[in-house]
Structure 1
Amino acid sequence: MGGVAGKLESPEMVWVPETKLEAKMVEAMQRRASKGTAMKSFNSIILKFPKIDENLRKCKAIFEQFDEDSNGAIDHEELKKCLNKLEVSFTEEEINDLFNACDINEDMGMKFNEFIVLLCLVHLFKDNATSLEAKSRMGMQNLEATFETLVDAFVFLDKNKDGYVSKNEMVQAINESGERSSGRIAMKRFEEMDWDKNGSVNFKEFLFAFTRWVGIDDMEDEEEEEEGRV
């Protein structure tokens, strides 16, 4: 995501958001970065994987709540009802942008991992405005700490606080953890995040990679296999 501005040989490339949603994401992340991060190393992020995985799987109940036709995906209308229940006010354009951004398979329905990314983006954009009572009703209040950990992890990786993670920043973050094969690990992790292969990772791309790292995608594959056996 994001286009590059300025000369390519420049040591610091400036990334320009390609969509309004990406611009909001970058702005929100820069605002959040100004508060600092509790993360001290990439290893400290990895150590949190099991707990994050456990908490994200609890989103399944919320997902099923809004998947009214139980087809394994949340469509546009179901999403609008979800945001209403959360007492989050987005314009029609913002809802469309969110839906299109998270429906990465472009099949007009958000699968479970796509829904997790959406909830985390809503947390980033509207945290202060979202009613605690509504979150409590939906069973989301315990997910706040998990979403904040994901925001924290991205802030840690985004060394220059421009709202994107570059390949150099990923290498720097993993080098700090003292891994002997850190360069190779950094490249692999970065490639897993950089979906559009443009050398820059925004928060949404990071979240999709993260659901894969902790095994949320595997969970969906297992469920589909079980359904096929029934």
Structure 2
Amino acid sequence: MGGALGRHDDVKSWMPETKIEAKMVEAMQKRESRGCSMKSFDSIILKFPKVDESFTKCKAIFEQFDEDSNGVIDREELKKSFSKLEISFTEEDLNDLFEACDINKDMGMKFSEFIVLLCLVYLLTDDPAALHIKSRIGLPDLEATFETFVDAFVFLDKNKDGYVSKSEMIEAINESWEPSSKRIAIKRFEEMDWDKNGVVSFKEFLFAFTRWVGIDDDKEDEEA
């Protein structure tokens, strides 16, 4: 899920492994150059209820893409939906996006994985010329939520390299909590660092965020 470590420790040259990850890093760095409205880690936590509320809107978009109503979006359903909405991603980028978000590698995206995909599409189309893409996919309604995700990541990524390191996470939490909160910061970082490579990409951050606000596909499956 991460990239290749060029130099050791937090002073690093972190190289993306895939083209789509490189595009995400480039888009995030462009976004980071505009600054951040988040002032503390607490301000991220305070956004959780609003984020949870907006996920109901994501559910409607998910059901629209899930043509056979089996609870997962497969590669063909994704391509067909993007084609129908005239969203001009290359086939390579679509395949890369699908593989990036199919975290369980079961050839289908569940709801939480789909939220991550939508947010990545939002980040990658952060351009006035791409506003029609956002309107076709229903993203304007979700803009505040996705801006929360992006802004939170910008706040955490202190050195603006497109990744969050453990020391950056500790620094972010220490800014608003007691220094003794280092243990909490490390725990939160470990929850985000899915591939255990020492840095967190925006995609990994999104998967952790959906868990933090209570989106859990396994629970949904049990309740169904």
Deviations, residues 157-186 of structure 1 (Å, cap 9, x unaligned): 000000000000000000001235410110
So what's the TM-score if we normalise by structure 1? 0.91
| Structure 1: 5+ residue stretches without partners | none
Alignment-derived partner of residue 225 in structure 1: 222
Separation in 2 of the partners of 1:20 and 1:136?
25
Contact 2:122–2:139 (CA<8 Å) still a contact in 1? no
Query: How far did residue 140 of structure 1 move?
Result: 3.3
Query: Structure 1 residues 91 and 136 mapped into 2: Cα distance closer, same or farther (>3 Å)?
Result: closer
User: Does the 8 A contact of 1:36 with 1:155 survive in 2?
Assistant: yes
Distance, in Å, in 2 between the alignment partners of 1:93 and 1:162 is: 25
Q: Name segments (4+ residues, structure 1) moved above 3 Å.
A: 129-132, 134-140
Moved more, 150-159 or 121-130: 121-130
Q: 1:139, 1:23 → 2: CA distance?
A: 25
**Larger deviation, residues 91-100 vs 123-132:** 123-132
Q: Is the 8 A contact 2:10 2:167 kept in 1?
A: no
- Distance of 1:26 and 1:77 partners within structure 2: 27
Q: Does 2:20 match 1:39?
A: no
The C-alpha deviation readout for 1:73-112, integer Å capped at 9, x for no partner, is 0011111123234432111111110000000111111000
Within 2, Cα distance between the matches of 1:189 and 1:117? 18
Structure 2-normalised TM-score? 0.93
Q: Is the 8 A contact 1:102 1:115 kept in 2?
A: yes
Superposition pairs for residues 127-206 of structure 1, below 5 Å?
Answer: 127-128=126-127, 129-132=129-132, 135-136=134-135, 139-179=138-178, 181-206=180-205
- The change in CA–CA distance for 1:11 and 1:200 in structure 2 (over 3 A counts) is closer
Secondary structure at 2:14's aligned position in 1? strand
> For residue 18 of structure 1, what is the amino acid of its counterpart?
E
Are the counterparts in 2 of residues 192 and 209 from structure 1 also a CA contact under 8 Å?
yes
Aligned partners of 1:11, 1:92: CA distance in 2, in Å?
35
Question: Shift in Å at residue 221 of structure 1?
Answer: 2.9
Q: Per-residue CA shift, 1:173-201, capped at 9, x if unaligned?
A: 00001235410110010000000001000
1: distance between equivalents of 2:201 and 2:49?
Answer: 23
Moved more, 12-21 or 39-48: 12-21
8 Å CA contact retained: 1:113, 1:216: yes
Counterpart CA distance in 1 for 2:143 and 2:214 is 20
- Superposed CA deviations along residues 36-66 of structure 1, whole A, max 9, x for unmatched, are 0000000000000111111123200110111
State the distance in 1 between where 2:179 and 2:11 align.
Answer: 27
